Amino acid sequence: MGPKPRMLLIDDDAATVSYLEAKLGRYYDLLGTTLPEMAVPLARHVKPDVILCDIDMPDMSGGEVAAALAADEHTAGIPLIYLTGLVSPEELRELDGYISGRPGMSKRAPLAELMQCVASVTRRASEQALHDQHGKEAARGDQRPFERDQAPAPVALLAGAGIEGE
């Protein structure tokens, strides 16, 4: 098995960071922080495959973190999932899984649901990056046929891999 995908977790609650590091650390190379103002420098350094970010934080909201990441050319393309205790899993389903235009997960959702969401979001990001790369090649006049084996390895779906819901 190759290297674990990298994840950056941003939450002002140290207990949440510790809990998710313990639960997700088996599947991800995870770095957690309780300092939202460190999101951009950490993301630039770690180059995570996905970012989980709390919404309701006192000094810098999740929306402000998302805006700062989107404004930085080195972090703008990293998929971000809002993690929140503000809505229940049922309420989030009613919102089609999105909060303010971004994928979201309730902190009360089973761990398996969080894992499925992360896998889905990172898979879509990988597919989009591949599509964008192919478009750039076509724009340059690169007429070589697209070959699937040139694509980056797909993100493994971790759901159903022995993960128990919490």
Q: pTM of the predicted model, to two decimals?
A: 0.76
Phi-psi region of 101 (alpha: psi -120 to 50; beta: other; left: phi over 0): left
Q: In this structure, are residues 146 and 134 in contact, taking their beta carbons and an 8 Å threshold?
A: yes
pLDDT digits (tens, 9 = 90+) for 39-65: 999 999 999 999 999 999 999 999 999
pLDDT in tens, 58-104: 999 999 999 999 999 999 999 999 999 989 889 988 988 888 888 99
Task: Please check whether residue 104 is in contact with residue 92, taking contact to mean a CB–CB distance below 8 angstroms.
Answer: yes
- Identify whether the C-beta of residue 134 lies closer than 8 Å to the C-beta of residue 142: no
Domain positions in the chain? 6-150
How does strand 102-106 pair with strand 98-99?
Answer: antiparallel
Amino acid occupying residue 115: M
Alpha carbon distance 43, 99 (integer Å): 21
CATH number of 6-150: 3.40.50.2300
